[in-house]
Amino acid sequence: MADTITTRAKDFPEWYQDVIRAADLAEPAIVVKGAMVIKPNGYAIWEKIQRELDNRFKATGHKNAYFPMFIPESFLKKEAEHVEGFSPELAVVTIGGGKELEERYVVRPTSETIIGHFFNKWIKTHRDLPMLINQWANVVRWELRTRMFLRTSEFLWQEGHTAHATHDEALAEVLRMLDVYADFAENVMAMPVIRGEKTMNEKFAGALKSYCIEGLMQNGWALQAGTSHDLGQNFGKAFDVKFQNLAGQSEYVWQTSWGVSTRLIGGLIMTHSDDAGLVCPPKLAPYHVVIIPIFKTPEEKAATSAVGAKLAEDLKAKGLSVVFDDRDDRPGSKYFEWERKGACCRVEIGPKDLEKKSYAFKRRDVEKKEFAPLDGAVAHITGQMEQMQKDLFNKAKAFRDASTKQVDSWDAFKAMHEGPGGFASCHWCGDGKCEAQVKEETKVTIRCIPLGNPKESGACIKCGRPSAQRVLFARAY
RNA sequence: CGGGGUGUAGCGCAGCCUGGUUCAGCGCGCCACGCUUGGGACGUGGAGGUCGGCGGUUCGAAUCCGCCCACCCCGACCA
């Protein structure tokens, strides 16, 4: 068959590529190395992600703004750790209008520095705080190795940037936005995530601390789905962002930044999809309902189409995305096509249904096809969409939970990651060298120290030294 | 950037070792018409390719040689 999809069991990365192609979500740009084209079906998902998140950002008091894509190279150099972290992956503009530039521009890999520059201008007193800004933008990081949605040289994201009068307040913001991400991931993407703190090795270059949400993909690898950073006063000092406090003294602001990207779409695919193609939770699906009339004669076509088109209108009125597919093709062929593309459910209306006043209903994530009365179809279908949203989350969570294991011996640790993968909850002494050694030997990294982690004494999985808590290890994208 | 793999029609591939009348082919998809339509129908006709690119060897290159490019996998780096 054309559009064949490799099975997950045979070759997971190949399957991932196949699903993207079969669902027509995106393709590698090729003419621009490491870049991708997000096609309409894929971009529709991104637009829904944007809408959902943007509503949540607005609800938490943030306002959107836009800063230049070109950043003076000197800005990057103002924060030592930041420049060190990003310099290998920068794209730099040296010529403009045919002339060598006086100062080179970097194409933004992230906007902490240029926003720091403007915060310096905008913030004068404690009355200007908190400053709560979000930007929807593209960023460029010159990656050596790319995978569609998960890592491309250019990608789309949002980056929140805030400034506060106290560290406590900034930290509260960091955790509040982490919660927004977690809520979005679980309730909209139906992707269960662990909230946690990054180790010093894994944190954002320039941050005091980084927090993250981590999901687990079907191949047992973790995916960092969102990050929220406590920047402390690092950028405040680098860009001299000061405010006058109540006592009349000048203080550096405390800043945060947080972001999610089009990588989420990769996470969505690897969380829910199956060997037949894309599976998408209703809250993000480009297509909710596909209605297919079944007929033999022109009279039957007219009759089933009339009922189908009417149902389509009724469902659209409920805010669902509906396709009425009366193309001249075999029904079975249509079924497979819409399954590949991740339509949440399918409705068939045939001559027998007209007699029985029924319709056939098939949910993308459920094996069995059922027949239901046409009366109340709208309520039934909208109800099923809500149920599907919950079922996908529960299924993913069951997988995640079953793939999360407490591991207390190095042999078991190695065996787990040579085998099925998953989250290994292990004791860790807290030494970054130990962490690096584990990574070198097994490619497994510490994904996070879960928030609210219970204290428990034990021995480090690698070196055996005393440990106060377990952390989550996994192979990661 | 190192190691491995792959580039031939939209997708999946054969042909390459042993250069030339099986060398521009196959399956699926696509277009037209007919017939069909409750899980990938069928028939007839048709469109579609600088064989990844450049250079070389040769009377002759998809095929041999060199260089380059892109994509995929594994590493280093990372949302």
Query: What confidence tens digit (pLDDT) does each residue in A62-98 have?
Result: 999 999 999 999 999 999 889 888 888 888 888 888 8
pLDDT tens per residue, range A218-260: 999 999 999 999 999 999 999 999 999 999 999 999 999 999 9
A31 CB and strand B closer than 7 A: no
Mean pLDDT for all residues in chain A: 94
ipTM value for the complex: 0.84
Distance A2 CA to B18 C1' (A): 34
Q: pLDDT at position A3, please?
A: 60
pLDDT block averages, 10 residues each, chain A of length 477: 72 87 86 85 96 98 97 92 87 86 92 96 97 96 87 94 98 98 98 96 92 95 95 96 96 97 95 94 97 94 95 97 93 93 97 96 96 97 98 98 95 90 94 90 92 95 95 93
Residue A143 Cβ under 7 A from any strand B atom: yes
Domains of chain A with CATH codes: 12-272 (3.30.930.10), 289-384 (3.40.50.800), 404-474 (3.30.110.30)
Closest CA to A175 of A234, A258, A289: A258
**Closest residue (Cα, C1') to B35:** A296
Q: In chain A, which residues from 368 to 407 place their CB closer than 7 Å to nucleic acid strand B?
A: 369, 371
Chain A window 60-79, residues with Cβ within 7 A of nucleic strand B = none
C1' of nucleotide B11: residue with nearest CA: A2
Question: Is the CB of A147 within 7 Å of strand B?
Answer: yes
Q: Is the CB of A110 under 7 A from strand B?
A: no
For residue A30, what pLDDT is reported?
76
The answer to whether A361 CB is within 7 Å of strand B is no
A84 touches strand B (CB under 7 A): no
CA of A376 to C1' of B41 (A): 34
Whether any strand B atom is under 7 angstroms from the Cβ of A443: the reply reads yes
Which nucleotide's C1' sits nearest to the alpha carbon of A351? B38
Instruction: Please say whether the beta carbons of A210 and A237 come within 8 A.
Output: no
The Cα A163–Cα A123 span in angstroms is 9
Strand B and A14 CB separated by under 7 Å: yes
A263 touches strand B (CB under 7 A): yes
pLDDT at A1: 40
* Strand B footprint nucleotides (protein C-beta < 7 Å): 1-2, 10-12, 27-30, 35-41, 69-79
For B41, nearest residue by CA–C1' is A330
Strand B contacted by A262 CB (< 7 A): yes
